[in-house]
Amino acid sequence: MTKILYKILSLVVFLGLMQCFVNVYAYSIDDQKIISNIESLLGSKDHKRILKECNEAIKIIPNQAKLYFWKGLALYNLEDIVAAKIALDKAISLDENFSDAYYVRSTNYIDLEKYDNALADLDKAFRLGVDKCIILSTKSLVLFKANRFEEALREIDQITTVGCEADNLARITQGKSLIQLHKFDEAITTFDKILAINDKNSLAYFNRAIALFELEKYDRALSDLEKASELNYDDEYSIYLIKGKILDKLGKNQEASLSFKEAEKIKKSAPVVLGALANIYIHDNLYVQALKQYDKIIKIDDKNANIYLKKGMLLKKTNRHQEALINFRKAISLDPSLGPIEKYINEKKK
60 within domain boundaries:
yes
28 within domain boundaries:
yes
216 within domain boundaries:
no
User: Do 17 and 48 reside in the same domain of the chain?
Assistant: yes
Which has the higher per-residue pLDDT, 25 or 97?
Answer: 97
141 within domain boundaries:
no
Mean per-residue pLDDT for 82-93?
Answer: 96
218 within domain boundaries:
no
For residues 171 and 140, what is the distance between their CA atoms, to the nearest angstrom? 10
Angle, in degrees to the nearest 10, between helices 253-266 and 271-283: 160
Angle, in degrees to the nearest 10, between helices 184-197 and 202-214: 160
Mean per-residue pLDDT for 173-182?
Answer: 96
Mean per-residue pLDDT for 311-337?
Answer: 92
Binning the chain into helix, strand and coil, the percentages to the nearest 5 are 75, 0, 25
pLDDT tier at 179, thresholds 50, 70, 90: very high
User: Do 68 and 105 reside in the same domain of the chain?
Assistant: yes
User: Do 278 and 292 reside in the same domain of the chain?
Assistant: yes
Report the Cα 301 to chain-centroid distance in Å: 21
User: Is the per-residue pLDDT at 70 higher than 90?
Assistant: yes
Q: Which residues contact 3 (CB under 8 A, 6 or more apart)?
A: 234
User: Do 73 and 45 reside in the same domain of the chain?
Assistant: yes
- Domain membership of residue 263 as a residue range: 252-301
108 within domain boundaries:
yes
User: Is the per-residue pLDDT at 17 higher than 70?
Assistant: no
User: Do 308 and 334 reside in the same domain of the chain?
Assistant: yes
Q: Which residues contact 118 (CB under 8 A, 6 or more apart)?
A: 106, 107, 109, 110, 142
| Beta-carbon count within 10 A of 327 CB | 24
User: Do 20 and 114 reside in the same domain of the chain?
Assistant: yes
The pLDDT of residue 284 is 77
User: Do 121 and 36 reside in the same domain of the chain?
Assistant: yes
Q: Which residues contact 77 (CB under 8 A, 6 or more apart)?
A: 1, 6, 45, 47
User: Is the per-residue pLDDT at 119 higher than 60?
Assistant: yes
Question: What's the total number of domains in the chain?
Answer: 3
Give residue-wise pLDDT tens across range 30-51: 788 888 999 999 988 899 999 9
Give residue-wise pLDDT tens across range 222-237: 999 999 999 999 899 9
200 within domain boundaries:
no
CATH number at residue 87: 1.25.40.10
H/E element holding 97? none
194 within domain boundaries:
no
The pLDDT of residue 19 is 45
User: Do 30 and 91 reside in the same domain of the chain?
Assistant: yes
- The segment with the largest mean pLDDT, out of 83-97, 264-278, 295-309, is 83-97
